[in-house]
Structures are given as C-alpha cells and as structure tokens.
Amino acid sequence: MPEIHHISAETRDRLQAELIDLTGRGRIDIAAQIEAARLLGDLSENGDYHAAKEEQGKMEGRIMRLKAILENCEIVADSEDRSGDSVVAPGLMVSIRFQGDDEVEQYLFGSIEERRTGIEVVSPGSPMGQALEGARAGQTVTYEANGNQLSIEIVAIES
C-alpha cells in the first residue's frame, strides 16, 4: 500500500509545476548536456559525460518521487479551517519538549515537501510522528529511536 502524503494545496501546485518543469525543460537541458559531452570524445574518461549522466539519474529520481507524491496525496485543510483542532494532525504546528530538556521546540507535522525556512518537519510516518499523531496538548508520548525510549510533552498545537 503506497504511503499517503498529507500536503497543502499550495504545495501540491508547487510540486506539479516542478514536475512539469523537470519533464519538459529539465529533460531537454540534460539531454543537451549529455550530447555536448559525447562530442568531447572517449566516454570512459569523460568527466562531463559522467557528471551529466549522474545529474540525469538524480533528476529522474526526483521525477519518480514527485509522481508518487502527487498520485498518493491527500490535501490538508488550510490552517484557518483547522484552528479549532486540538489533536496533532498533518498541516499543524506542534510545540514539544523532550523529557529532561527545558527548551520547547516547534515542528510542522506533515510531509517533508511542506518544509519552510527555519521550521523543521516531522513526518507522520516517522517514529516520532507516529507517537505524536492524534495526541493532545498536555499529553506526554513515547517512541523508540536508535534503541532508546524517548518521551516528549506536547506543549501546544497551532495552525
């Protein structure tokens, strides 16, 4: 069963535009780079050719990833529509405090594709994300990471 990606409509539109760009302009550009490198001669020792082929592989991997996300995405409601939510759910900001630490950290709960400058993302599929999903502010949840049990207190849930 494919992983469901919880993303905003804005992120879906951005990913669709990136996919269109990569499958159009991106493929044309990389094909031109490969052809130019071929003209330089012996491919076995041609650094430009190997670099272009490596770049092509990375781009094709990204195209496959984008297609998988877009085919298996669920659009989360805008934050204004979710301001009354009192449980951790995709698209919301979660403030947490690790047991034994005084510092409160804030994370966006959702797909890594939702990343924003200065804000870390917790995926619902990660061990921490699985522990947080559905929890309420004031609750403490535990999860296992690298063989250790970690406890975190949910300080606040915000749009």
Domain-wise residue ranges, the chain: 5-75, 82-158
Task: Dump pLDDT digits (tens) for 41-63.
Answer: 888 888 889 999 999 999 999 99
Q: Average pLDDT, stretch 122-132? A: 93
pTM for the full model?
0.75
Name the CA dihedral angle for 63, 65, 71, 75, rounded to a multiple of 10 degrees: -110
Task: Dump pLDDT digits (tens) for 65-95.
Answer: 999 999 999 898 755 444 455 899 988 999 9
Pick the CATH number of 5-75 from 3.30.420.40, 3.60.15.10, 1.10.287.180, 3.90.1150.10: 1.10.287.180
- In this predicted structure, what is the pLDDT of residue 116? 80
- In this predicted structure, what is the pLDDT of residue 108? 92
C-alpha distances in Å from residue 37, one per residue of 25, 30, 34, 56: 18, 11, 5, 13
Backbone angles phi, psi at 29, to 5 degrees: -60, -45
Task: Dump pLDDT digits (tens) for 145-154.
Answer: 999 999 999 9
Q: Where residue 13 falls among pLDDT bands split at 50, 70, 90? A: very high
Class of 82-158 in CATH: alpha beta
Matching fold, domains 5-75 and 82-158: no
- In this predicted structure, what is the pLDDT of residue 46? 86
> What integer best gives the mean pLDDT of the chain?
90
- In this predicted structure, what is the pLDDT of residue 3? 80
16 close to 8: Cβ distance less than 8 angstroms: no
- In this predicted structure, what is the pLDDT of residue 34? 93
